[in-house]
Amino acid sequence: MNIRNFSIIAHIDHGKSTLADRMLELTGTIEPRRMQEQVLDRMDLERERGITIKMQPVRMNWEYKGDVYVLNLIDTPGHVDFSYEVSRALSAVEGVLLLVDSTQGVEAQTLSVLSVARELHLKIIPIVSKIDAPNARVEDIVSELTLLLKCSESDVLRASGKTGEGVADILNAIVERIPAPKSGESGVQALVFDFGYSDHRGVIVYMRIFGGSIAKGDSLRLVAAHADFVALEVGTLAPEERPTERLLEGEIGYVVTGIKKPGIASVGDTMTTVRNPSPALFGYRTPTPVIWASVYPESQDDLPLLRQSLERLRLSDSSLSYEEESSGIMGKGFRCGFLGMLHLEIVIERLRREFALALVVTMPTTVYEVTRTNGEVETIYSPARFPDDGTAKEIRELWAKVSVITPPEYLGSVTQLLYDHEGVVGDTETLPDGKTRIEAQMPLRELMRGFFDRLKSISSGFASLSYELIGMRTADVVRLDILVAEEPVPAFARIVSRRRVDHEAEAMVEKLENLLPRQLFELKIQARTMGRIIASRRKSAMRKDVTGYLYGGDITRKMKLREKQKKGKKRMLARGTVEIPPDVFLKVVREG
């Protein structure tokens, strides 16, 4: 079978998308006039940020020793938030290209994904990328990879996605080293690894066929969803959709289902035929939300649009979860689950761009288990529901096992950062390239409190991070409420460590003093916990000169006007509410 299914895995910004571009060019999959950078990154957000968010499968043809081979590539994201996308891709392929930046070396996320590839017994082709970079350490990285993979130096390929050097060797190695798909069941079995949505055609499922074949007009079934449908269209991706009459065993392609109901298609489900159903394939884990935040429309009139928009995003992003909730002050909205801070920012930005929604986003939080004094156990996703009345007997929170790889000169700063974020530092290890790997455990709450950004900052971008959840542990945390004009703002409420509550309170009121627009009356910004105010700032009122139109005359006239203005401001303060711009909420969330 002249088919090779493979994926590209690496740390963020190690050149995956650029290498994919050169492969598409060299195989003639995309005409030169239609070529653009990061061609598999379909969203504007991806090109702006220079990262892959939504993976895009693509089929290429490559001639090798007189035979034409079909190469199916699934490009994957490299940010730690999107590791679930990588696991989807790896379940659908037989081999991977392990890409390592010649200027950076092996990083934490690389090792994390490599362990997944090894568990799946995939063929690994090591590649040193960016060999044209002025500060490239090609031979050092080659030696590092030979030690890591226990392979010879000749097994390690060298390439530059920018210049195209070595890309033909990679395509040849894919044919030579990655095995062809094995023959599966006699019946039809296809693994769903992603899906999209079209207004006219419904859910479009991306899948890999492990047994049998699928043709247009077949009556098919999604096993886990117990949903039957007729294949309206089948085809391959190059990278745009190319309809065909039939998809064969071993191929990667798409099926148009016509399903227009959210929640039917799910990643890891098995597609089979209605007439002769086959058992489900071994699916992979459903992505679990790591952080939660409430999202409210600025105008309650937009609530139906927000609901429809989340349904649409859920159709193409199975890691997004949400449920409707109501707040006395904010009105109705949705409690949403995300994989991390970057995932949250991307979803909110997509809601604003693609659906023109003005949104209010609350401070994100992780999940907590609260045992009350009466023995009742409650799972809490929202700071607003967190007990602040002394009824909590025990509080438990999620912890993560963290692995940080850093150059030795930053070891002290990284260790201090871990301690600052309540980390329990464990083993340290010197890697073959001289870098140090630090193992630690820390609350997920602290990991999400800007840890990744601070790690990059103190290490000049050289340190890298991977993590996995390790269960619930006892927590000493309290709820911090923020009051603006003496009214609590639920969107700013957060759960913080008791030992840091004073520091967090001061930082929050100072940040809001700078972010909130000036009002016509003096604005009081306060932080409160356990019923007492622990930090306060006042933002001076906007001053309007009410005497500007007077020319000379009695001074008492000016005094009367100023006194009238003062009384007016007091009335405004007594009954006034403060309009908080939506961008302030997102800035507070982003800066944590």
Domain(s) labelled CATH 3.30.70.2570 in the chain stretch across 478-591
Decide if pLDDT at 470 tops 70: yes
pLDDT of residue 47: 54
Q: Cβ of 261: how many Cβ atoms within 10 Å?
A: 12
Sheet holding 57-64, edge to edge: 57-64, 67-75, 3-9, 95-101, 123-129, 157-158
Helix (H, G, I), strand (E, B) or coil at 465: strand
**Alpha-carbon span 346 to 46, nearest angstrom:** 9
What residue type is 438 in one-letter code?
I
- Evaluate whether 191 touches 181 at the Cβ level (below 8 Å): no
Q: What is the DSSP track for 308-343?
A: HHHHHHHHH-TT-EEEEEEETTTEEEEEEEESSHHH
What is the fold of 478-591? Alpha-Beta Plaits (3.30.70)
pLDDT of residue 575: 41
Binding-site sequence positions for GTP: 13-18, 129-132
Q: Cβ of 130: how many Cβ atoms within 10 Å?
A: 26
Is the pLDDT higher at 545 or at 325? Answer: 325
Nearest to 316 by CA among 221, 199, 226: 199
**Alpha-carbon span 352 to 415, nearest angstrom:** 38
Binding-site sequence positions: 13-18, 129-132
- Evaluate whether 233 touches 176 at the Cβ level (below 8 Å): no
- Domain 189-273: homologous superfamily in CATH: Translation factors (2.40.30.10)
Residue 102 DSSP code: T
Decide if pLDDT at 280 tops 90: no
At 24-57, the pLDDT tens digits run 889 988 776 565 555 565 555 655 555 555 557 8
Rg (CA), the chain: 28
**Alpha-carbon span 319 to 502, nearest angstrom:** 35
pLDDT of residue 562: 64
Q: For residue 64, what are its two tokens? A: 């090798």
Nearest to 107 by CA among 191, 197, 10: 10
Q: For residue 505, what are its two tokens? A: 């309170």
Range 291-361: architecture per CATH: 2-Layer Sandwich (3.30)
Nearest to 118 by CA among 147, 98, 143, 104: 98
Beta bridge partners of 128: 100, 158
Distances (CA, A) of 14 to 85, 102, 197: 17, 9, 30
Under the banding of pLDDT at 50, 70 and 90, the label for residue 551 is: low
- Evaluate whether 205 touches 214 at the Cβ level (below 8 Å): no
At 434-450, the pLDDT tens digits run 889 999 999 998 888 88
Buried-exposed string 420-433: b where 16+ CB fall within 10 A, e elsewhere? ebbbebeeeeeeeb
Q: Peptide bond preceding 239: is omega within 30 degrees of 0, i.e. cis?
A: yes
pLDDT of residue 546: 45
What is the percent of the chain where pLDDT is above 70?
85
Q: Cβ of 59: how many Cβ atoms within 10 Å?
A: 20
- Evaluate whether 111 touches 83 at the Cβ level (below 8 Å): no
**Alpha-carbon span 558 to 409, nearest angstrom:** 66
Q: For residue 323, what are its two tokens? A: 């449920």
Is the pLDDT higher at 547 or at 456? Answer: 456
H or E element, residue 403: strand 392-406
Beta bridge partners of 394: 371
Domain(s) labelled CATH 3.40.50.300 in the chain stretch across 3-177
| Residues making up the chain, counted from first to last | 592
Helix (H, G, I), strand (E, B) or coil at 557: helix
Nearest to 279 by CA among 223, 335, 203: 223
Q: For residue 182, what are its two tokens? A: 């094995």
Question: Residue range 123-130: average pLDDT?
Answer: 94
Decide if pLDDT at 140 tops 60: yes
Q: For residue 466, what are its two tokens? A: 């991977």
Decide if pLDDT at 501 tops 70: yes
**Alpha-carbon span 360 to 345, nearest angstrom:** 13
Decide if pLDDT at 524 tops 80: yes
Question: Residue range 251-270: average pLDDT?
Answer: 85
Q: What is the largest CA-CA distance in the chain?
A: 102
Buried-exposed string 263-293: b where 16+ CB fall within 10 A, e elsewhere? ebbebbbbbbbeeeebebbebbeebebbbbb
What residue type is 293 in one-letter code?
A
Residue 286 DSSP code: P
Decide if pLDDT at 589 tops 80: no
Class of domain 3-177: alpha beta
Domain(s) labelled CATH 2.40.30.10 in the chain stretch across 189-273
pLDDT of residue 572: 43
**Alpha-carbon span 495 to 9, nearest angstrom:** 35
Decide if pLDDT at 592 tops 70: no
- Evaluate whether 300 touches 332 at the Cβ level (below 8 Å): yes
Domain(s) labelled CATH 3.30.70.240 in the chain stretch across 369-474
Under the banding of pLDDT at 50, 70 and 90, the label for residue 246 is: very high
Q: Cβ of 244: how many Cβ atoms within 10 Å?
A: 14
H or E element, residue 140: helix 138-149
Question: Residue range 480-502: average pLDDT?
Answer: 87
Q: Tell me the pTM.
A: 0.75
What is the percent of the chain where pLDDT is above 90?
35
At 335-346, the pLDDT tens digits run 999 888 778 888
Q: Give Cα 366 distance to the centre of its chain.
A: 15
At 360-398, the pLDDT tens digits run 888 788 889 999 988 889 988 888 888 887 788 899 999
Nearest to 311 by CA among 347, 263, 349, 361: 263
Q: Give Cα 420 distance to the centre of its chain.
A: 24
Question: Residue range 194-211: average pLDDT?
Answer: 87
On average, the pLDDT of the chain sits at: 83
Sheet holding 359-361, edge to edge: 321-327, 331-338, 291-297, 359-361
Helix (H, G, I), strand (E, B) or coil at 24: helix
Q: Which stretches within 326-458 are classed as H helix? A: 341-355, 411-420, 444-447, 451-458
Residue with tokens 């790591």: 290
Top mean pLDDT of 51-65, 114-128, 182-196 is at: 114-128
Under the banding of pLDDT at 50, 70 and 90, the label for residue 571 is: very low
Domain(s) labelled CATH 3.30.70.870 in the chain stretch across 291-361
At 54-68, the pLDDT tens digits run 557 889 999 999 999
Q: Cβ of 46: how many Cβ atoms within 10 Å?
A: 19
What is the fold of 369-474? Alpha-Beta Plaits (3.30.70)
**Alpha-carbon span 515 to 499, nearest angstrom:** 26
At 2-28, the pLDDT tens digits run 999 999 887 777 777 788 888 988 998
pLDDT of residue 302: 92
Decide if pLDDT at 564 tops 80: no
